[in-house]
Chains A and B, each alone.
Chain A
Amino acid sequence: MIERVAEIQKQAEAEITAASSSAALEGLRVQYLGRKAELPQLLRDVAQLPPDLRGEAGRTANEARQALEAMIETAAARFEAAEMSAALESDNVDITLPGSPAEAVGHHHLLSATRREIEDVFCGLGYSVVEGPEVETVHYNFDALNHDPAHPARARSDTFYIEGGGDGPDQTLLRTHTSPMQIRIMEQTPPPIALIVPGRVFRRDSDATHTPQFHQIEGLLVDEGVTLADLKGTLLAFARAIFGEGRELRLRPHFFPFTEPSVEVDVSCFMCDQGAAPDGGRCSLCKGTGWLEVLGSGMVDPNVFAAVSDHGYDPNAHQGFAFGLGIERIAMLKHGVPDLRFFYENDLRFLRQFG
């Protein structure tokens, strides 16, 4: 009987090895291990053997059955995997069809994206971001910021005033810059302070290079011993973060009522080499000058500190710098937007290019 088992096992092993599909394998399983197959029958017959033979015969038959079962299983697993992959391979689709249902892709407006980018630069330098009202008073917008009573910016031709907005310092207007927050913050927070004020501002101007509303970011740092060189270093860090490593700064003296000294700040053009475009022609971005005018700034005028001297600011002890930049201008320079109009038209074909 033991010999028979060995024979069956040998034959079965050969056939399992030769089987070429899971169906053939299933046939072999029925043929050799099914209820009516010989090997199980032999196992059942072990009981009728003399007791001293039962042990070995039983073990041999059982081992053979287990070996065949394992072999079939291994082979079956192999076939199943191969057959499944064959089936999956034939079950294919055109993977180049678009995803569906489609996901719309949203965008931040370029002005918001630019504002965030600039905010993040100054947050990294330790500045806080504060915002304030757009409808302001003459006091905060002009008087406290050292604007001469005859300063042209106060004119009705330049600044929007609010109807029924009163008279004198409390007269209301649409802020012409985000600088009023300089005063509001200094009234609330003793020095030292480091903050930026992003926001919407309004000037009575409308032509190719001006819209009556636009967006600014104002910066203010006040402490003892703050210098113009500190301002330059700060703005250089900003310029390199926004326009790329390797930018240089140029400071041009200018006049702003609330800073003294005041400087206009130019950043070296990132599209050319000192005004010469890569094709040898005149760079169109900087008009061949090699410099881009990006912002106005200066050392806070002592009169501004005098306006908040009740709040811990001493014109003789404290120094600080302030700067103001136009978000539209930065976005136009950085992304090559040729016309301010695009920002407020809200044409989806424009909006979807950015942010």
Chain B
Amino acid sequence: MRVPIDWLSDYVEVGIGATELSERLAMTGTEVARVLQHGPPAPANFVVGKVLSAEAHPDADRLRVCSVDCGEKDPRTIVCGAPNVAAGQTVAVALPGAVMPDGTELGEAKLRGVKSSGMILAEDELGIGGDHDGIMVLGDELVSGMALAEVFSLSSEVLEPEVTPNRGDCGGLYGIAREVHAATGAPLSAPPWADDPGASTIGSTPAGISVTVEDAALCPRFTARVFENVTIAPSPIWLKARLAAAGQRSISNVVDITNYVMLVSGHPLHAFDLDAIAGGELTVRSARAGETLTTLDGEERELDTDICLIADADGPTSLAGVMGGSRSEVSDQTTRVLLEVAVWDGANINRTSTRLGLRSEASSRFEKGLSPEGALEAQAMATALMLELTGATLTDGTLDIGGEGPAANVIRLRDARIVSLLGTQIAREESQRILETLGFTVSAADDGLDVTVPHWRRDDVTREADLIEEVARIHGLDSLPSTLPINRTGRAGGLSREQRLIRRAEDALVGRGLCEIVGWSFTDPQICDKLLLGSDHPLRDLVVIENPMSSAQSVMRPSILPSLLDAAAYNMARGAEGCALFESGSVYRGGRSEEGFAANEHHGLGAIVTGPVRPPSWNDAQPPTARIETAHALVSGVLGALSIEWEVEDGELPFLHPGRTAMIRTNTGLLGWFGEVHPAVATAWGIDQPIAALAIDIGRAAAQAPGQQIFNDLTSFPPLREDLAVIVPAAVSAASVVACITEAGSPLVSRAEVFDVYSGEQVGEGRVSLALHIDFAAVDRTLTDEEVSPIRDKIVAALKAEVDGELRG
């Protein structure tokens, strides 16, 4: 909304500059986004002139040399190019020294040899509309030399307040004026609808028109007045100038009046050409399925049954509260006008304008919820202007369906409650003063004030807390003390165990040189193809956004891997040789979560490493390239930090290299995977080198991490260590060899770990040699060779029997 200060001053005597006013409003709850300048920066040197003569220019066909009386001793010579300039006109003149709206200062000029000391102005030169067809012709009653600023709003600073959604009453200048009054103490004038020229018509219904409201919930009040003998014409310059300053185009006197009254009262109005209302009857009803309506902007709109419309005998003629229809709009031929001022259900209007993608000055006001009483205020103000500016006569009667809103609410405002909510005291007299400046009616009560809410705040102020806010915001919060609350929760606060462990896991990766990224939760549905997911792969059960900003951001990521690949591709396209990245964040899948939340979300921790596993250096020029074992080591590091026991299991994931895919298994299920990204997937991201990757459901990992650790005596009885090399078929996994040893040597084998792998001639085709450290230990004694020797034999036998293993060397 735009608030020209010049116009605002009709209702409140603003005694301070625009900047100070903006600050004051900001500190009382109405942020001012900007202060603009409308028209010339200053009104000086703009005056009324009388054209005494207009002669043809001796050397230019299209120019006239005019003699203009500007109220000075001698008339001025002004060269003018407008086709409509003529002797006898009263015109607007800019004298040399005048600063135009674009900032240029007008000087004396010579036009084709004739000196011109001033300029006769067209509307667009003052920022009033786009009319450059000719100069502005003013009323003859104006005196030459008079300041133009006294004729119309020539120049004004314009505020752009951001009205909060609860303040439907601030959708008009008078509402803002009331805020200014409360915020600055500037005197407030009576509202411009105080005198209703049509007051006597209230109580009867105008003849020749019938209105039916089918659903009072959608239309709490519908009022109408009928004007006859209307002459449609351009608006007077003062009206055009005001609308222009408020950012609105002038259309015609009747339409301009509806806009003008809306801008002041905040209540939208609609003018029908009464003769275009088929059958002289209007029905307010819900649209029927398949009905269409061509709105004033020329668009044909398809309606649904939740949309409220106004129909005549021929069907829909207006989209209630949003936009009129072209069939019944006021035209140059209109002589009878039905002026409708109604109140519509805010939620319904909001839904309609969203559904149709059509926001208008009217809908944005109605959706905040307007008071029924405001309808007749707007009628009163509009009636005065219709009579004054269009030559109209008012037909007897004011149609009114629905009437006024519910009786005013009276709320007790207790002094004690102010202190308990704010933590500081505000004197009762001060509260009373503030509430009265805002239009509340106040009377004394035992423990505070009884406050009657005015109709324009009916929906917004309904409780004691709302009154306290009103008092506090106007009183100001500068003197509010700063205190710390006593924390009586009985809890120490802090991070939960799971949150601490997740930090630990992230720290483990940072400590290993990885950089954390923050990716988009949104992704492209084509990600599924890019990840080579089969048509029935469970990851295709996506969380899909109904109203995405673009198709590339229309689903929620089903895996954390694509975000990491995006970041890797971004950096490698910018010269990085490789990268080591991780992300800790949400992953989304269809279906409900275990906790019953609306989607199956989990906290994922993913990492990728590609290129050298560490930065090359002067004696380590070619560090190894990241491979599956790089990912494996990171998984060990992360889960080790969380003391989680886990093992590797074979698995298949479409986006991983089929020979280099591993699942992370714990005793409660699968916790994630690691491996190398499938080369075709890597290529889809433009990366042509191995990518080690891992993903862990870190939320679940943290939840199942062992709790408090209990002391184990591992020092009193040191283990007996033996190394053992065993040759097994290549298909036998390292893990199964370890499992075989641990089981055969149970319970005395405390650790078995592969430290070397060899394949080659010495071990034979299709076989591999694994070297292992084995620790034998007992909790209550130091083991002797004699005790271990038979166990060792048992292990050797088990290796032979279970994994076709034979001792090497």
Contacts and interface: CB of A to CB of B under 8 A. Distances in A.
Contact of B549 (A112, A136, A212, A346): A212
Interface stretch (A11-19, A254-262, A277-285): A254-262
A151 interface: yes
Interface stretch (A24-32, A34-42, A66-74, A227-235): A227-235
B466 to A, nearest CB: 6
Interface string A169-205: 0001010000000000000000011100000101010
Given A134-B601, A148-B165, A200-B521, A100 B617 contact: yes
Interface centre among B368, B492, B516, B580 (most CB of A within 10 A): B516
B545 A164 contact: no
Interface in B138-194: 164-167
A216 interface: no
Contacts of A206: 549
Contacts of A237: 484
B521 A163 contact: no
Interface string A106-124: 1111011000100100110
Interface centre among B484, B585, B595 (most CB of A within 10 A): B484
A233 B521 CA distance: 35
Nearest to A225: B420
A172 B493 CA distance: 31
Chain B binding surface SS class: loop
A152 B350 contact: yes
B72 interface: no
A229 B488 contact: no
A237 B164 CA distance: 29
A64 interface: no
Contacts of B598: 133, 135-137, 162, 165, 172
Contacts of B709: none
Interface string B482-519: 11111111011111100100010010011111111111
B653 to A, nearest CB: 24
Interface in A204-237: 204, 206, 212-213, 221, 223, 225-230, 232-234, 236-237
Given A162-B544, A253-B29, A348-B515, A260 B368 contact: no
Interface stretch (A1-9, A47-55, A84-92, A153-161): A153-161
Contact of A101 (B503, B543, B567, B617): B617
Contact of B482 (A97, A157, A192, A229): A229
B296 interface: no
B617 A347 contact: no
Given A106-B511, A162-B546, A193-B489, A346 B518 contact: yes
B426 to A, nearest CB: 12
Interface in B571-590: 571, 574, 576, 579-581, 584-586, 588
Contact of B579 (A129, A134, A348): A348
Nearest to A228: B422
Contact of A119 (B495, B511, B615): B495
A interface, size bucket: 35 or more
A79 interface: no
Given A204-B549, A254-B164, A103 B465 contact: no
Interface centre among A160, A263, A302 (most CB of B within 10 A): A160
A252 B513 contact: no
Contacts of A249: 482
A116 B503 contact: yes
Contact of A252 (B29, B369, B496): B29
B469 interface: yes
A244 interface: no
Given A104-B614, A228-B421, A253-B27, A213 B521 contact: yes
Contacts of B597: 132-133, 135
B28 interface: yes
B546 A163 contact: yes
Given A134-B601, A230-B485, A107 B543 contact: no
B47 to A, nearest CB: 37
Nearest to B366: A150
A234 to B, nearest CB: 6
A326 to B, nearest CB: 14
B468 A261 contact: yes
B516 A355 contact: yes
B616 interface: yes
A104 B513 contact: yes
A253 B421 contact: no
Contact of A262 (B346, B469, B548, B586): B469
A101 B612 CA distance: 12
Interface in B35-66: none
A243 interface: no
Nearest to B582: A106
Nearest to B462: A303
B354 interface: yes
B571 A346 contact: yes
Contact of B489 (A103, A174, A194, A251): A194
A127 B27 CA distance: 30
Contacts of A151: 165
B167 to A, nearest CB: 7
A227 B420 contact: yes
Contact of A106 (B424, B514, B619): B514
A164 B595 CA distance: 20
A228 B480 contact: yes
B423 A227 contact: yes
Given A104-B615, A229-B423, A251 B480 contact: yes
A127 B619 CA distance: 50
A155 B165 CA distance: 13
Given A223-B485, A228-B472, 9 more contacts: A106-B514, A109-B518, A133-B597, A135-B556, A223-B489, A230-B483, A232-B483, A261-B421, A262-B469
28 contacts: A103-B513, A104-B614, A105-B513, A106-B509, A116-B503, A119-B495, A126-B487, A126-B492, A128-B491, A133-B598, A133-B601, A155-B350, A156-B546, A172-B598, A192-B488, A206-B549, A226-B485, A227-B485, A228-B422, A229-B423, A230-B484, A252-B26, A253-B469, A255-B29, A263-B477, A302-B463, A344-B518, A348-B515
A-B pairs with the 5 shortest C-beta distances? Answer: A104-B513, A229-B423, A227-B423, A253-B473, A255-B164
